[in-house]
Structure 1
Amino acid sequence: MGRYLTPIQPEPYPEGRSPHPNPSAIWVKLAVLPNSYSHDRALLLCRHGEDEWYAWVPDHGEIILHRSEFFVEADWN
């Protein structure tokens, strides 16, 4: 499964604007939702360890994700 850190492009925003300060941010699809109200994607913020990342999940907040907890859908990119 060598697809873990392939970037996901977020949905385009009007006039090229992005809601995040870094338009080249890496979004990943979550294998399991952190709670039943959260989104199914996370924004990777920085590494936490060799196989873990700090991430932000809309409607949940910050979280530490292991590489096995996220992936990139085959139809993206």
Structure 2
Amino acid sequence: VQMGCAKGKCAELNISPMLKEFKLNTWNTVSIDLLCFAKSGVEFERSSAPFVLTSEGAAKIRIANVQFEPNAQKMATLKCSE
């Protein structure tokens, strides 16, 4: 998952270990603490790419309900310490 990439910095998080644990052909949820991106220098107000998903190999996935939720870091499945 990548975020940023305007005049500011980009940040990338590898979520592949998490994805390998998911069951195929079912909906799964991933939530990421935005602090993970902030610590990498992402300037949210300058971001031209709020959500980018890349893969090294072929993949067939469906994505739904991408959203930013304030104060949701405690519930995130991927957390970054302060």
TM-score (structure 2 length as normaliser): 0.22
Q: Larger C-alpha radius of gyration, 1 or 2?
A: 2
TM-score (structure 1 length as normaliser): 0.23
